[in-house]
Every structure is written in structure tokens, then in C-alpha cells.
Structure 1
Amino acid sequence: MEDTETFAFQAEINQLLSLIINTNASDALDKIRFESLTDKSKLDSQPELVIRIVPDKANRTLSIIDTSVGMTKSDLVNNLGTIAKSGQRSLEALQAGVDVSMIGQFGYVWESHAGGSFTIRKDVKGEPLGRGTKVTLFLKEDQLDFLEEWKLKELMKKHSEFISYPIYLWTEKTVEKEISDHESEDGEGAEKEEEGKVEEVDEDKDKEGKSKKKVKEVRHEWELINKQKPIWLRKPKEVSKEEYGSFYKSLTNDWEDPLAWKHFSVEGQLEFTAIIFVPKRAPFDLRVFIMDNCEELMPEYLGFVKGVVDSDDLPLNISREMLQQNKILKVIRKNLVKKIKRILCFSKNIKLGIHEDSQNRRKLADLLRLKRKGYEAIFMVDAIDEYVVGQLKEYDGKKLVSITKERLKLEDESEEDKQKTEEKKQSFENLCKMIKNILGERVEKVVVSDRIVDSPCCLVTGEYRWTANMERIMRARALRDNAMSGYMASKKIMEINPDQGIVEELRKRADADQSDKSVRDLVLLLYDTALQTYGFSLDDPNSFAGRIHRMLKLGMSMDEDDTELVDDIDVPPAEENKIEESQMEEVD
């Protein structure tokens, strides 16, 4: 039996169990490379600097092998036996000139079962490791997915894609080949010696009648994992368009080239290098690639931007994976936002930025592309636009006014136009009163409009109340504030168009007979269609459908004997009833 020594850990066992051990093969390879610059003989035993990963499902082990500097026996005790080694003491040792080189005697095995101790023994098995380190993990039954090829590739792509040294994975490939009978007989003995094994055989015959077999053979080979190189470390002039495209696709798994990118470095008190990409398509989900999801580096409204940030000034905690909270992140975030604003125009995301980012609100407003027609009317159709105009009260010295609210003045009228408008209001005064009586609590008032061109009527809201779109958004919220809804969702104001034929005919009928039931039905139908046209929700869809059906029957001269008029009683909208009840409950 080999000579085995047992040592106790210089830390509590709970510290050991909670520690995530990262085999820093890349740093160890850096060290041997630096040593070889002054002494080329250091690479004689193994000139290639690589990292190899070998999953073994049969023995449930995962081995990580590198051709790095390795460790001496004392290094195994000091570095792997002490959980929390003081960085300050190591620094003092360097300043005092203590030799901390890991180059030395090889051939020791460090082993631990996650208990309170570990063992060190000489490697009497004589494994042909050469220079370097081999770490073997024995996996539990519930952790065997770490031996799967897809899982290992996923982890390496996430954490080690840009390691400077090649990382090879021992993979299993299934190859199908076609052989004839005599080839099968001749190669039968040789196949037994080959590594690959036959999984299944299909037999077929060709035109000459010779029997052929399709053999599926499992082979093992090394596959290079980290094919992408860290192009952000090079100067932008030295990187081609194809390299940027390839890097972007590898980084984001996108199938298209990026729409635009920005490769830049920031120097001064803080130094970092970054490449940011804008995809061609708007994102299906808003995610940030940096550190899985680093909100400190990228605001939420720029979540569609992909990229990498590399900085030597970022401090790391013991796990070497999570960035500590510090002011450096805020400085990097500010620079990233500044660069991105110069190269992009994704409307919904920019609008979200206007709502959330008060510091950059005015600059972000310049990026909006807005559609105009006739007057300086801007069509804003996204749901988020309601939040945008709530924060962006004016732009370039011009006050933003909603045309769906009352008191809209398009232009100054002449005295002649004012007189004509006043005459129209007087002639339609009776109709306005009649419509108000028919609609009752549904509307606050009925007035003659000077904004409508083609429609017979429109519905607008109070100047300081929710628009139709905002009211619909707030109604869709499951946990809305009913008290706020009752206050902000004001009664609608109906404006009628005096120059429209339908309204003129209604005026004539109203003047002729105040009790004409057809006028009542037409008014209710106009109100319901206006609700639909101007973005409100129907109070009673069934009654609306019934009125449409009656109009169809009248148009086709059908008998209405079986049809009863509905809505003879003024009933306020169901939603408003709910709001009032909620308010009374809250008062009680």
C-alpha cells in the first residue's frame, strides 16, 4: 500500500461544504507560459498548453486535465488545505521575495471525501500525466447530468467561452457506414480491437446481388469547445465585419447578423472595453446577456441590446463569478447607455426609457420617429404611449395635447367663423338636450363639435382624466385601485358633428316629435359605435347587437312585431356601478 498522509482542514467543515471550488486551469496555464518566456525548457515535457475534459459515465467521474504548472506536495497542503487563505499575507510574501513558484516535484495525489480531512499520497499508479494537474470529481446519483455532453457544453459556453487556451471535450459520436459481406469478414478481428462499438446492423442488397450492411459505430474524439476568440481585446480596425457577425451569433444564438454594433474602449480613472450589438428584429423577450442578467450594467428598457463588457477594474468576490456592488458599475452603465443611444431606434423600448429614465428623458425623445398627418397630430398607438405622454409633457418647446380630450383648439377662428359656430350650437341645442336625456348618466354632457370632419359624433374625456386607451389598460389590471379608477375614469363627453347628414336628420326628427322611439334607438346606436370607434369598452354588447339587428330588419322592410325595444330605462354602465359600490364599501 502506498504511503498516505492525512491532514486536517484549517477551517470549519461548514466552510468547506459551502465553498465552490473553481479549478483555475487558465491561470495555471498562464503561469507556465510566463515561466517559459525566460526558460523554454519548462515546456519540454508538454509543449501544448490545453485543457481537456473527460466525462466517464461508467465510473461516474468527471476529469479536468490541464498541462499547466502543477503543484508540489507543500502547495497541495497549503493551497487546498486552507479554505480562507489571506490575500494580504500572500502579498506580503511576494514583497518579501518569498519563492511562491509552483514549479517543483510532481506525482502527488490530493484526495478528500468532503469530511474534516484530506489525504496526500504519491502517485504509484504511474498515470502518464506529465506536467499539469488532473482533477477528478466523483459524482452522486442525482448529479449525473453533469456527465452529459449537452450539459458540459452549456456550462463551458456560459463560463469559459473566451478562455485563451483551447478546451477540448471527450465526445461520443455515432457514425454510420456501409460495408459488404467480405469487408465485414475481413475486418471482424480488427473491429474488436477498435475503440468504437457496433450498435446496430441493417442488411441490404445492391443491383449485383451482393449483400451490404449498414453499421452504426460509436467513436470517441476530442472536440474543441471554445472556438470563439475575445475579439473585443483587438482594435476595432483589425476586426472584420464577418468576425463581428460570427461573434454576435455565437454570443446570442441569433441566426441573423446584427443591425449595428459599437466596439469601444474607455480609459482614464476607470478602464473597460465593450462590444454592444443591436439585433435586426425586436426581441421576443427582454434579457441582458451580461452576467446572465445584470441590471446594474444595462437598464431594463435597453434589455434587447446584446454584448460583452470586459474590465480589469471590476472587483470580484471569492466565487469569482458575481460582481460586488460598487460605483464602477454605475460609471460603466452611464457610458453604455450613452453609446447605445447613438446607434439605435427601437420605439417601444425607447418609450419605456422615457417613462423610467428621467435623466435621459429629453435625449431619448429625440429618437422617437412619429407619424404626422395634416396638423401636427402624432399617432401614438402603442399601449406604452399612455405612460410616455404622462411623463413627456412637452417636446421642443411645444406642449403635447391629447385630441381625445375636451377643450381642443386646432386654430384661431375668425369673427365670421365664430358667428357661424354659435348659430349651429343654437340650432342643435334641442338635439343636444334630447341626446343627454336619452343617454342619461352615460355621458356628462353633449356639445356641438368643431373638430369632427366625417364622423357623426365622437366621445372624449375630461382634460385631466384618463384617455380611452388608458382606461382600458387600467381596467385590465387585476389588482387595480378601484377608488382611483372611479376618480380618473370620468364620464364621457359626446360631441356631435352639425355638418353630418345623420345628425342633421336626427335634429329634424327631434324637432318634429320628441317622443319618436326611432330617434332614441338611433342615438343609442350612435353612442355604442362611438364607444367602439374611440377606444372605449361597450357597456352592454347584447343591447348593441339587438339594435344592429333591428336596423337590419328595418333596412330589409321586415316585420318588427316580435322585436321589443330595449334600454327604455336609463341604466348607468355596469363598470361604473361596480366602482361606486366599491367606493361606498371603502367609506363604510
Structure 2
Amino acid sequence: MDILINSLYSNKDIFLRELISNASDALDKIRFLSLTNKEVLGEGDNAKLEIQISLDKANRVLMLRDRGVGMTKQDLIKNLGTIAKSGTSAFLETMQQGGDVNLIGQFGVGFYSVYLVADWVEVVTKHNDDEQYVWSSSASGGFSIAKDTEGEPLGRGTLIKLHLKPEAMEYAEESKLRELVGRYSDAWPPYQRLVSADAPKKTRKVKRNEWDLLNDAKAIWLRSPKDVSKEDYHKFYKAVSKDVGGDPLGWVHFKAEGDVEFKTVIFVPKTAPHDFYDKYYDKGAKGALKLYVRRVFITDDAEELVPRWLGFLRGLVDSDTLPLNVSREVMQQHAALKTIRKKLVRKVLDLIKSWADDEAKCRKAEKDKEEGKEADADEEVPTGRACELYGDFWMQYGKAMKLGVIEDITNRGRLAKLLRFYTSKSPSTHTSLDEYVARMKPGQKDIYYLAGSSKEEIEKSPFLEQLLRKGYEVIYFTDVLDEYVMQHMVDYEDKKFANASKEDLKMADKDEVEKKKDKELREEFKKLTSWWKTVLGSAVSSVKVSSRLSTTPCVVVAGKYGQSANMERIMRAQAFNDPSRAMMGGSQKVLEINPRHPLIRALKDKHEEAGADDEEVVGLASLLYQASLLESGFMLDQPKMFNSRVQGLVGARLGLAPDAKVELDDEAEAAPEGEEAKEEAAAAESEDGEEEEAMPEDKAEAAAPAEAGAAEDADKAPAKDEL
């Protein structure tokens, strides 16, 4: 017994869980018997299936009473008196083999957790088939059973009296009991009555005679969904989630049968938990759902029940398949848990998809109305709140869906249909990939997208000039997760994704005349592109004639396997990022030029006229590249050189000579290095009254003209304030 008490349970709070679970089982048994024989329930108070908890704080007694099936004398001996035979040897063997001793319900010894908080326990019980008995023990190795002739008749059921240890008086506090009951009593909500502990024993009065319902959350997961009202779901959600922010967006309630049987109620909160994304990757972060096994609470840390990206869900799963001695290791390996997880994810995704479908139907109906089309009489169109549910869900959990695409290969296809984005044709309303595909131009094979920090930045990007001019729709990626999502989604509905900021962008609407013209332009600018690549060296992998530009002279795009400018910015912003990794895509940059732009044509003519080695042409080509680098969203590799070239151009426009010098202060310019320090030392000596050394006459004469010249120069020089 000492081993069991001190080794099996590490948390004293669970004693109340075990007692409530046992009481719940007793209530279930009598209810089951009453289905075929209603007389077993009796009449009056005996027919009330309930659990009552009461306190006698003055005498340090905590009592728990149920009106369940009760126990006979033989049941007391079998269930409470044969611990050595039923469990101790097996428990010791498990410990010696290095097994997990933090088990729940193992070896049928749950009742004995009461000795964590009590030094003396009495169990008064009455079964319909036997007289009322009392079992008592101090956990010292012995127990006694006797007929209860002095106690109050129970009628039926069990009363457990815990004589609390002095160091366990926290469990005689109402607030503590309410907190524990709220955690452990979802199946049969207990009632509580307190007896005052302040008054002397002779004058003690009942502080509160009525019984307070501690937890009125009914076990709705055991009932059929059609028998549960909306109000019941909302009430149960608040109890199980402790969310005071309002009602849930929706819920899933079903019973799974077959090889793996379980019942579940899962809720989608209206708002994401405040720390859901902040602690997304934290090790040891609690899971989303509570796990029960045959209505016995096991843990609220069952992170294996749903994947991490669904960690915002709240609710519970009650399994009839998992063993009661389910530990962390067992949960991770048990095949039934994997089946439960698979079914839960599918059901939750079905719920979310139904919201998305309702949204799509509402949009279609609204569009048909605007276009004057008659509504389809056979199709039921949702109204009101149903049209807004998915929009609200996406605002709270859009990032979670994207994380699911990144992490969950199995459900990636289903999640892709739930993604929402702004586009060039839908800049203020989220659109789906299905809607994008339905609007694609004839012959279009790619889904075009561009990532940036904001919609405004993307809309003005030179990468999109020809795409937008020709009427192609472009998806705007403004979330930092979007580019990571694209790394895991190659295509959608047989359509490839194409990043508008990368090389080899293809448009499908070019005819033979355009293709021929493009070929001629590439040939015409071949010398310029080859020379320009030589000028830029390893800064770019190539220089090409562009087909994506319309009004911009040139642009820098990422190579096929390089990082886009947006991705480079994201990588640089990461606190623990290796700068060398952020620059891995540097050699993958490509300069694309617009052969129709007058700047590019003028540069081509200047290059042919002045020659490849002309410094001015080389400088202009480098300056154009660096300006394009900035406009394309990349960081400058040589900002000092870029700034010098810009200043040179501004100076030329202002008529300054290339070798114009900065005018410095006369004293600073005239004083050789170290002279200022010597002069300050001499001045200090003069102030201290020390005699100055007389200057020789020849040196004095030589110094006079110099001082006169300095005075004359000072008259001509501008005042210091003017400088």
C-alpha cells in the first residue's frame, strides 16, 4: 500500500477524479439495470441519479455520496480488500522492469489514491440485495467490515468519508473542490453542500442547506445529436473549454463504430486561443482535446488526438477501445488512437468545408442576382449567418489551414480547397483556388502569383505589367506563410503554380507574329545582354530580354531555383537566421531588360558607339541594374557604389565638375596631424602663467608674411555659419 500511494500517483488532485469516476460507474450500472427493471431505482430521493459532495471542515471530513448501484459485503471484500492479490505483485514487477509508473487506472487501484490526502477512510454502502455495511481502513495493511447499524440509512448507493490529513486541508476549501469538480465531472455533475467550521460544535449550524450544482455540463456526447439542443451545446462548450468569449462557431458530434469505437463532441471556438500561434512550435504545449476512456477522464494533454494545426479545437473524445492504463507511450503507439485521429480530422474538415460551400453558394446567388439571372429552384441557397461563417473562420484560422498544407501531406489536397487569397480581380474579397481556376483565360496553364509585404506593393510591382495588361489574374500573397505554402504545393487541379517574380515566366496567348518578334528582339539585343552580363559578373546568372515588362526599363528576377526577393526579406528577418543562408539565392538572380523601352535602346546605342570599355557606359549599366534591384525588392549588394553613382549623376545635372572637392574648415585643413594637440598644450601653458620662449628674429620675420597672408585669406573665406 505504501508503494502504491507514494509511487503510482504523482498528483494528489487525482483522488477526486478516481472517486467521481467510480461514482459515475455506479450510477451507470443502476441506470442500466433500470432499463429492464424500473423497481431497482426505488422511489423519492433514491430514484435521483446524482453525486453529492459535502464538507465538515471543523472535523476535517470530506464526503462523497452517490445513489448508484452500491456494494454488497462480498463486493467490499473483492473490490477494496484484496489489493495485495489483485495488483501489488504485478505493479512491483512493472517497476522492476523499468515500466511507466505514471499509469492511470492501472491494476484497479484507483480508489486507493484517497490515501494521498486522508489518513482514515470509511466507505458506507447499501446494495439492493444486501444490508448496509461500513468498510474502514487507515491504509496500514488491514481493514474492517461491519454492518452499519448506527449511520443514516442510505437507501441505496455509497458514501465515502475521507478524514483529511493536516497537510491536505486545501481540499477542505470550496474553491479548490469547485476547480477539481469542474475538471473531472463531465459525466455526472456533482452537487455540493458545506457545513460551517467556524461555530463551536454544540451550536454548529448548517451554513447552507440547499445543494449547489457544481458542474451542470451534461454528458451530451453520450446522447444522440438529434436529442441535444443548441443551448445544450453552447452550455457544454463553455464548461469544457472555459471560454468566456462567446458561443462556438460550430461543432462536430458523432459516434464511431466498428473496430474502434468512440464518441466525441468537438467545437471550433469563435476566436483563436490568444497563444495558439505564439506557442505553436513549443514543446510540451497542451493538446486541444480531453481524452476519456469509458467515461473515465484520462488527460487533457492528448496532443496525439489531432495534428498540431488543429490545436485550436476544444472538446473531448470518449473511447471504448483504448485501455484504461493508457500512458503517454501507449497513446503514441496504440493503433486505435491513429484511427481516432484520422476520423476526427476528416469530420472537422467536413464541417469547415460545409461552411466554405455555403459561402460559395451565397456568392453565386448574389452574382446571379446582379446579372439578372434567375435562381435555380432546385438549389437551396443559405442565408444570413451561414454565408458569413467561413469568412469569420478564415480570419481566425487561415494561418492554421496554411500550416496544415505545409505539415499534413495526407490532407493537403482537401486543405488546398479551403485556402483563400486576394487577387488582381478580387482585391477586396477573398477568393478560392476553385474560383481562380474558373476565371482562367482560354489556354492558360499556370496559376500566377506574386508575394510581397502588402497588396499595394504587389499591385505596383513591375513583375505584373504584361500579366495585368493582358488580363491574367494574379494571386496576391501578403502573408509570410504563403511562400512556404507554395514550396509544398506544386499544382492544383492539373494547373501549375507560377511565381511572377521568377525567370522563364510564360504566357499562353502569344501568336506566331509575337513569338517571331520576340525572337528578333533577342537577336537584336544579344550583344548588349552578353556585354551587360560581363559587366555585372557573378551578381547575376544571366541577362535576358524580358517578356513580362511593359513600361519599366529592366527588372531583377529570381532564378528558377533561387529565392524571391520576398523570401530573402523573410529569411533576413528571422532572429536566428544564418545570414549566409539568406544570401544563397544571390547567384540565382537574372536581369531582364525591356527592349522596347527608350532607356534600354539608348544604352544599346551608346554601347555600340562608345565601345565595351567606356567607363561611362559601364557606370550607367551598373546603375540601372542596382536601381532595378531595389525596385524588385532585393537588397543592394554595394550600396556605397550605388550612392556614389547617383551623386555623380545629380552633380552632372547641376553643372559640377567631376573632380569638385568638398571645402573643409581652414584650420582643420592647414593643421598637420598632431599639431592641434601641440597648440592646445601650448595654450594651456600660457594660461598657467608660464613664460613663452622668445622667438628668434629670423623666425619672427619669416612668420610675419605668413600671418599677413592668412589674414588676407580669412577675409576672402566665407564665414563658418555660411559653410
> How do residues 114-125 of structure 1 correspond to structure 2 at under 5 angstroms?
116-120=140-144
1:258 to 248, 258, 272: 248
**Alpha-carbon offset, residue 71 of structure 1:** 4.5
> Residue in 2 aligned with 1:27?
25
Change (3 A) 1:436 1:325: closer
2:180 to 133, 139, 155: 155
Change (3 A) 1:240 1:557: farther
SS state at 1:358 partner: coil
Q: 30-39 or 229-238, which moves further after superposition?
A: 30-39
Tell me the alpha carbon deviations over residues 398-417 of structure 1, each in whole angstroms, 9 at most, x when there is no partner: 23333332222213644443
Matched, 1:519 2:620: yes
**Alpha-carbon offset, residue 475 of structure 1:** 5.5
CA distance in 2, matches of 1:546, 1:144: 78
2:191 to 165, 168, 190: 168
SS state at 2:352 partner: coil
SS state at 2:226 partner: helix
Matched, 1:309 2:323: no
**Alpha-carbon offset, residue 474 of structure 1:** 5.2
> Residue in 2 aligned with 1:134?
160
Give yes or no for contact 2:290–2:302 (8 Å, CA) kept in 1: yes
SS state at 1:389 partner: helix
> How do residues 133-532 of structure 1 correspond to structure 2 at under 5 angstroms?
133-136=159-162, 138-139=164-165, 141=167, 145-163=170-188, 166-170=189-193, 222-254=211-243, 255-282=245-272, 284=274, 285=276, 287-291=287-291, 292-317=300-325, 325-344=333-352, 346=394, 347-373=398-424, 374-375=471-472, 377-411=474-508, 413-425=510-522, 432=529, 436=533, 439-472=536-569, 490-500=587-597, 503=600, 514-516=614-616, 519=620, 522-523=623-624, 525-532=626-633
SS state at 2:83 partner: coil
Instruction: Give the aligned residue type for 1:228.
Output: A
Q: 423-432 or 268-277, which moves further after superposition?
A: 423-432
Give yes or no for contact 1:167–1:226 (8 Å, CA) kept in 2: yes
**Alpha-carbon offset, residue 60 of structure 1:** 5.8
Tell me the alpha carbon deviations over residues 471-498 of structure 1, each in whole angstroms, 9 at most, x when there is no partner: 5555566777999878666431122334
> Residue in 2 aligned with 1:64?
64
Change (3 A) 1:84 1:382: farther
Structure with greater proportional strand content = 1
Instruction: Give the aligned residue type for 2:79.
Output: N
Change (3 A) 1:148 1:363: same
| Larger radius of gyration between Structure 1 and Structure 2 | 2
Instruction: Give the aligned residue type for 2:24.
Output: S
CA distance in 2, matches of 1:110, 1:355: 59
Instruction: Give the TM-score, by structure 1 length.
Output: 0.67
Give the fraction of aligned pairs with identical amino acids, expressed as a percent: 39
CA distance in 1, matches of 2:552, 2:524: 19
Instruction: Give the aligned residue type for 2:323.
Output: P
Tell me the alpha carbon deviations over residues 68-91 of structure 1, each in whole angstroms, 9 at most, x when there is no partner: 45556654444223337659xx9x
CA distance in 2, matches of 1:231, 1:351: 32
Change (3 A) 1:318 1:487: closer
CA distance in 2, matches of 1:233, 1:369: 36
2:137 to 96, 100, 111: 111
Change (3 A) 1:537 1:280: farther
Change (3 A) 1:280 1:15: closer
Change (3 A) 1:112 1:481: farther
Change (3 A) 1:512 1:540: same
Q: 484-493 or 223-232, which moves further after superposition?
A: 484-493
Structure with greater proportional helix content = 2
> Residue in 1 aligned with 2:382?
none
Give the aligned CA root-mean-square deviation in angstroms: 4.9
CA distance in 2, matches of 1:304, 1:313: 25
Give yes or no for contact 2:289–2:303 (8 Å, CA) kept in 1: no
Tell me the alpha carbon deviations over residues 271-322 of structure 1, each in whole angstroms, 9 at most, x when there is no partner: 43333333444554165223324344322333333333334344322899x8
Change (3 A) 1:466 1:155: farther
Instruction: Give the aligned residue type for 2:518.
Output: T
CA distance in 1, matches of 2:550, 2:652: 28
**Alpha-carbon offset, residue 228 of structure 1:** 1.9
**Alpha-carbon offset, residue 396 of structure 1:** 1.7
Instruction: Give the TM-score, by structure 2 length.
Output: 0.56
Instruction: Give the aligned residue type for 1:391.
Output: H
Change (3 A) 1:512 1:243: farther
Instruction: Give the aligned residue type for 1:25.
Output: A
SS state at 2:499 partner: coil
Tell me the alpha carbon deviations over residues 11-52 of structure 1, each in whole angstroms, 9 at most, x when there is no partner: xx4234334552211222344556674545856785544323
Count of residue pairs brought into register by the alignment: 496
> Residue in 1 aligned with 2:709?
none
> Residue in 1 aligned with 2:435?
none
CA distance in 2, matches of 1:134, 1:74: 17
Change (3 A) 1:120 1:456: farther
Change (3 A) 1:44 1:220: closer
> Residue in 2 aligned with 1:578?
none
Give yes or no for contact 1:351–1:384 (8 Å, CA) kept in 2: yes
CA distance in 2, matches of 1:55, 1:545: 81
Kindly indicate whether structure 1 or structure 2 has the higher relative contact order, using CA contacts under 8 Å at least 6 residues apart.
Answer: 1
Give yes or no for contact 1:301–1:352 (8 Å, CA) kept in 2: yes
CA distance in 1, matches of 2:487, 2:543: 27
SS state at 2:183 partner: helix
Q: 253-262 or 53-62, which moves further after superposition?
A: 53-62
Instruction: Give the aligned residue type for 1:51.
Output: I
CA distance in 2, matches of 1:543, 1:146: 74
> Residue in 1 aligned with 2:50?
50
Give yes or no for contact 1:510–1:519 (8 Å, CA) kept in 2: no
